[in-house]
Chains A and B, each alone.
Chain A
């Protein structure tokens, strides 16, 4: 069995290749897969008839009690036969049905075979969980098949309906399966469930109802019946397979499978039989009213499914035998009829009863085939359908219980409808109609007629040997709990059943004659209660509910999300702290009084930064607070931290200022002004919570800190005296490794955010500029000398607003480059200054003076003082950084501090000489530094392994180096050098990006930093959204204060600023 399933998988996989390469005839080859299943079932016939169930078991997930088990008993054997045979015949039919140029053949073939495989597994498996798996597979594949014409709205809609309804049912069923598997006496084996039924309790009753919901939704019983007629948007062969053997038969199979065990339960019997009866009548009634041949059949199937489930769902043996025989005959006649419709559709170009006339003449053979199938459906001897229906009537009459009488009435009424719509189908398709000319037909390939003919003849053959059918199927019917064994026979003698048969046929014919040809029927609305409408309304409610929930939780506002998270943190943490046993221990006021003074500076800086309205001011205040923290570290006894904090704070400030050159001077108008007190309250709450946490946590220590032994370990294993540094490069080196990786990622991120070109572009050197455009750096839109001259005038009297903005930028930039702007302004008006300056710059280049790239800077940006200071300091700083790097193992310093110092030296060069100077100072790509740094650190970690050590182990090398004296060399130095390089790389990357690249972009676009964030363009798109979200928007063109603060025309922007400390 497993091999056959794998064959289906393989066939499904190669199907697209076959079909696309060798054309549509390959459908017939694909048919071999389901055919093999049918053949396999036939070879097992003897065993199954002898009562030996064929069982195959493969362990899959033992922990879940999940194994791949197949059990071939009578019912499964029968179903495998049906699924395999019909599947093979339908696929063979496809080989001639579809046009050679039909779209999506490959996908269609693959999905069809997979669908057949899933159906095969469904009817053959013994595990309820596997059954569920195959169940949902058929759902998914049928979705793909129904939606085959994915470019048609109606197909997509039908497929969506089908998958939603059947998946819903499947999930409910899964719940029932799990309950039935977990309760006492329950099992995940179908066989055990039926033979040793669990005790009937409320729980198991509900569980079995859940399972029935799955079956009812899959088999399109009311109230889920609407998906099946809509599903005929699928290609006709799919409809044939879906209606006759697969998908909807899965529900029938499940009912038939479980009925021997559960059919006497009230929670099974009542709902199932009521729904099945209702479905049979409603389906038949609706089929009477359709004018599309496929729709007649589709509603007919709905009706027949009701009949089938009614028969196999009750508990009487004789009726069950009739039911299972009916499954077989239904498969044969329904497949035949759908395939017939396919041929009619292809030949006549329509399926509309209004348009088809007298096809009997042009397609006599097909009309006979169809007549055979119809005869089987409406129960005319000697066809299979007749045998089954007779047996059902006989069984119900014989049983005679009130339930059987009720079912008998339904059966007779339903059968009358069946006869009526069956006649109507044949009449509609083949009969000559008044007032219609004969429909012209095309000639169809004779191969297309094979499959329907085989199936119709099979129905006849099976009907002729009812005893064989009885012998084959009786073992299954015998598993039902009640009643005498039934018989399948062509002649049951005179009696009530025969009378009923006559009534059915005559009544049906009369009904067809009087009402079946009335074309007005369909126009009238049939029911006030429409299940499809109900479904649509439910889906709409669902959508609305989803929209409401989304709008409630997903506000799209970052501050809102953050506030929620913080609020939860505050509430949860404070509740835990207040209800816990821990109390505040002793607290000391301060470690030293200096802490208080420093603390005040820090807090004042922080509060000022929070209140500031000007970016620069906020950042400077933040810097003050940061430097205060450094002092705090020093007071705490952490010199390494203090050094690093000072350096980081410096670099941060510089970087900030570099970016601020381009950002507006003021924070934008305050969209959150209303909520500031709320935010302040939340901030205070978080601060208070964390403070409480600190007080409690510090006093809750019970274990000895891990760091107690650090001093000893640092010296003995790390060979260093600076414990913090040894911790970084040895004891907790993995942390550091992770950290420098993060730095590398951050640096790369910065570069990729700002560099619109590639970062690996050549480093810009001063020599690139030789002979052209000297002094272009840091001018406004420096396109040439004309601009330069204009720029020098512009600062004084501009004709438009550009002067204002130029002024503000100049002042911002001047902060970065010392007081260079001031000297530039002073010389701006002197004619001839430009020529003089250019001469000197060229001279500087020629002489290759150090810091020569300073000559590439615009004259008004140069600062002699800064240049001289840089010349003095740069080398010293580099040497000092190396000193910190090498001495870090024993004294404060190390790779981080050293790298930062070197980085600041680079910043200095950049500020003094512009971006070309930066290229001169560090003529390498930052990525190279970052990469080699990480490589060095990782390598230093790996090397000890080659000498039998562990990763990141330290070793010491001591040697005498002549006049330099004794040198003690610890291998972790390499690790620290890696850190050093990564930090330099980070700073360089930031400098290249936020410094040099922003310069370049600024030159390209012109330095026009807007004073406030919003302008009219923004209001058009995002502004309206903001307004809709309830934020106040101030007038974007409100006058703003000049950056130099000399004139304050705006009022709102400065009112909050005045209170802040400077």
Chain B
């Protein structure tokens, strides 16, 4: 049988909260290595959260090993896959950090340069010139366009504004 007691253990809750808090603090960093440590800490915290949701501690969920009530096996199975996935994830981000270091000489997540450029230009009121922004009357400019008809040599037929 499985423990039916749902009351959470305060220690577990506090530890979980602390892990998530420190993890979030690191997540908001720019260095990928620190972000990664943050992910690991948050991951552990969330694993504990799942465990807390499963109820109180108990005997190992091995049939016949003990007469006491077992701890809930379902959260354990979920957490087990989560742990291993975190390993794969960690390796992936590490590879990313390494690659970033290789390419840029650091492992920091930089601001998107294009976004910053847009913001700066918006502040200063600069805009890209629009293709439909006329210096003169659009219709008058259109008057200088000629079609590619037979008798006109290429050079003149294509003159006009480019």
Q: How far is the CB of B134 from chain A (nearest CB, A)?
A: 7
A705 adjacent to B72 (CB under 8 Å): yes
Binding site for A on B (CB under 8 A): 1-2, 6-31, 33-34, 37-38, 40-41, 44-45, 47-49, 51-65, 70-74, 76-81, 83-92, 94-99, 101-102, 104-116, 118-123, 125, 127-128, 130-134, 137-152, 154, 156-157, 160-162
A607 adjacent to B132 (CB under 8 Å): no
Say yes or no: A1018-B105 contact (C-beta < 8 A), given A606-B41, A743-B85, A1028-B116.
Answer: yes
B81 adjacent to A739 (CB under 8 Å): yes
Q: How far is the CB of A812 from chain B (nearest CB, A)?
A: 14
A1013 adjacent to B145 (CB under 8 Å): no
B63 adjacent to A721 (CB under 8 Å): yes
A230 adjacent to B142 (CB under 8 Å): yes
Q: Once bound together, how far apart are the Cα atoms of A437 and B95, in whole Å?
A: 78
Q: For the complex, is A294 an interface residue (Cβ under 8 Å from B)?
A: yes
Of all chain B residues, the one with the shortest Cβ separation from A549 is B122
> What are 15 pairs between A and B in contact, CB < 8 Å?
A101-B148, A157-B138, A233-B145, A536-B134, A555-B115, A556-B119, A607-B22, A610-B41, A626-B44, A636-B12, A664-B101, A683-B20, A697-B53, A746-B89, A998-B98
B147 adjacent to A157 (CB under 8 Å): no
**Main secondary structure on A side of the interface with B:** helix
**Which 7 pairs across A and B sit closest by C-beta, in order of nearness?**
A556-B115, A687-B21, A1013-B106, A556-B112, A746-B88, A551-B119, A229-B139
B139 adjacent to A226 (CB under 8 Å): yes
Q: Once bound together, how far apart are the Cα atoms of A588 and B85, in whole Å?
A: 31
B81 adjacent to A637 (CB under 8 Å): no
B162 adjacent to A152 (CB under 8 Å): yes
A98 adjacent to B150 (CB under 8 Å): yes
Give every chain A residue within 8 A of B17 (Cβ-Cβ).
687-688, 690-691, 694
Q: Once bound together, how far apart are the Cα atoms of A603 and B45, in whole Å?
A: 11
Contact check: which of B27, B77, B130, B147 meets A539 at CB < 8 Å? B130
A629 adjacent to B49 (CB under 8 Å): no
Give every chain A residue within 8 A of B55 (Cβ-Cβ).
698, 705
Give every chain A residue within 8 A of B60 (Cβ-Cβ).
637-639, 892
Q: Mark A806-828, 1 if CB is under 8 A from B, else 0.
A: 00000000000000000000000
B80 adjacent to A587 (CB under 8 Å): no
A563 adjacent to B94 (CB under 8 Å): no
Q: Once bound together, how far apart are the Cα atoms of A229 and B64, in whole Å?
A: 90
Give every chain A residue within 8 A of B22 (Cβ-Cβ).
606-607, 609-610, 683, 687
Q: Mark A609-639, 1 if CB is under 8 A from B, else 0.
A: 1100001001100100110010011011111
Give every chain A residue within 8 A of B21 (Cβ-Cβ).
683-684, 686-688
A1013 adjacent to B107 (CB under 8 Å): yes
Give every chain B residue within 8 A of A547 (Cβ-Cβ).
118, 121-122, 127
B112 adjacent to A993 (CB under 8 Å): no
Say yes or no: A158-B72 contact (C-beta < 8 A), given A691-B17, A697-B53, A1026-B111.
Answer: no
Give every chain A residue within 8 A of B101 (Cβ-Cβ).
662-664
- For the side of the interface on A, what is the size category? 35 or more
A707 adjacent to B40 (CB under 8 Å): no
Most buried by B among A160, A629, A892: A629
Q: Once bound together, how far apart are the Cα atoms of A633 and B82, in whole Å?
A: 14
Give every chain A residue within 8 A of B92 (Cβ-Cβ).
746, 749-750, 753
Of all chain A residues, the one with the shortest Cβ separation from B42 is A686
Give every chain A residue within 8 A of B104 (Cβ-Cβ).
1018, 1022
B160 adjacent to A687 (CB under 8 Å): no
Q: For the complex, is A100 an interface residue (Cβ under 8 Å from B)?
A: yes
Q: Once bound together, how far apart are the Cα atoms of A158 and B132, in whole Å?
A: 7
Contact check: which of A151, A591, A655 meets B57 at CB < 8 Å? A591
Q: How far is the CB of A146 from chain B (nearest CB, A)?
A: 9
Q: For the complex, is A333 an interface residue (Cβ under 8 Å from B)?
A: no
Q: How far is the CB of A713 from chain B (nearest CB, A)?
A: 11
Q: How far is the CB of A674 from chain B (nearest CB, A)?
A: 13
Q: How far is the CB of A689 from chain B (nearest CB, A)?
A: 9
Q: How far is the CB of A747 from chain B (nearest CB, A)?
A: 7
Q: For the complex, is A154 an interface residue (Cβ under 8 Å from B)?
A: yes
B91 adjacent to A157 (CB under 8 Å): no
A727 adjacent to B77 (CB under 8 Å): yes
Q: For the complex, is A202 an interface residue (Cβ under 8 Å from B)?
A: no
Give every chain A residue within 8 A of B96 (Cβ-Cβ).
753
Of all chain B residues, the one with the shortest Cβ separation from A693 is B49
A727 adjacent to B73 (CB under 8 Å): yes
Contact check: which of B2, B83, B84 meets A707 at CB < 8 Å? B2
Q: How far is the CB of A987 from chain B (nearest CB, A)?
A: 8
A722 adjacent to B120 (CB under 8 Å): no
Interface residues of A in 981-1001 (CB under 8 A from B): 983, 986, 990, 993-994, 998, 1001
A599 adjacent to B12 (CB under 8 Å): yes
Q: For the complex, is A1006 an interface residue (Cβ under 8 Å from B)?
A: no
A98 adjacent to B28 (CB under 8 Å): no
Of all chain A residues, the one with the shortest Cβ separation from B29 is A672
Total contacts A-B at CB 8 Å: 498
Of all chain B residues, the one with the shortest Cβ separation from A228 is B139
A551 adjacent to B118 (CB under 8 Å): yes
A694 adjacent to B15 (CB under 8 Å): no
Q: Once bound together, how far apart are the Cα atoms of A1017 and B104, in whole Å?
A: 9
Q: Once bound together, how far apart are the Cα atoms of A79 and B6, in whole Å?
A: 77
Interface residues of A in 90-107 (CB under 8 A from B): 96-103
Q: For the complex, is A566 an interface residue (Cβ under 8 Å from B)?
A: yes
Contact check: which of A160, A557, A680 meets B132 at CB < 8 Å? A160
Of all chain A residues, the one with the shortest Cβ separation from B73 is A723
Most buried by B among A345, A543, A659: A659
Q: For the complex, is A932 an interface residue (Cβ under 8 Å from B)?
A: no
B53 adjacent to A743 (CB under 8 Å): no
Say yes or no: A619-B87 contact (C-beta < 8 A), given A559-B29, A632-B15.
Answer: no
Known: A536-B130, A711-B2, A750-B94. 4 other contacts (CB 8 A): A233-B141, A292-B143, A645-B83, A652-B40
Say yes or no: A691-B14 contact (C-beta < 8 A), given A158-B142, A698-B7, A710-B73.
Answer: yes
Give every chain A residue within 8 A of B33 (Cβ-Cβ).
615, 618, 663, 667
Contact check: which of B78, B80, B87, B144 meets A652 at CB < 8 Å? B87
B81 adjacent to A736 (CB under 8 Å): yes
Contact check: which of A540, A551, A753 meets B123 at CB < 8 Å? A551
Say yes or no: A610-B26 contact (C-beta < 8 A), given A98-B150, A618-B34.
Answer: yes
Q: How far is the CB of B67 from chain A (nearest CB, A)?
A: 13
Q: Once bound together, how far apart are the Cα atoms of A232 and B160, in whole Å?
A: 14
Give every chain A residue within 8 A of B38 (Cβ-Cβ).
610
A994 adjacent to B10 (CB under 8 Å): no
Q: Once bound together, how far apart are the Cα atoms of A923 and B19, in whole Å?
A: 40
Q: For the complex, is A585 an interface residue (Cβ under 8 Å from B)?
A: yes
A679 adjacent to B25 (CB under 8 Å): yes
A590 adjacent to B80 (CB under 8 Å): no
Contact check: which of A298, A606, A691, A1028 meets B23 at CB < 8 Å? A606
Which of A346-354, A469-477, A757-765, A856-864 faces chain B? A346-354
Q: How far is the CB of B85 from chain A (nearest CB, A)?
A: 6
Q: For the complex, is A32 an interface residue (Cβ under 8 Å from B)?
A: no
Give every chain A residue within 8 A of B140 (Cβ-Cβ).
292, 295
Give every chain B residue within 8 A of A625 (Cβ-Cβ).
19, 41, 44
Q: For the complex, is A342 an interface residue (Cβ under 8 Å from B)?
A: yes
Of all chain B residues, the one with the shortest Cβ separation from A547 is B122
B18 adjacent to A559 (CB under 8 Å): no
Give every chain A residue within 8 A of B13 (Cβ-Cβ).
587, 691, 694-695
Most buried by B among A233, A345, A586: A233
Interface residues of A in 220-268 (CB under 8 A from B): 226, 229-233, 235-236
Give every chain B residue within 8 A of A710 (Cβ-Cβ).
2, 61, 73-74
Q: How far is the CB of A184 from chain B (nearest CB, A)?
A: 42
A154 adjacent to B122 (CB under 8 Å): no
Give every chain A residue within 8 A of B149 (Cβ-Cβ).
97-99, 102, 342, 345-346
Say yes or no: A589-B19 contact (C-beta < 8 A), given A152-B162, A158-B142, A295-B139.
Answer: no
A539 adjacent to B9 (CB under 8 Å): no
Q: How far is the CB of A854 from chain B (nearest CB, A)?
A: 26
Q: Once bound together, how far apart are the Cα atoms of A257 and B144, in whole Å?
A: 37
Give every chain A residue within 8 A of B15 (Cβ-Cβ).
599, 602-603, 632
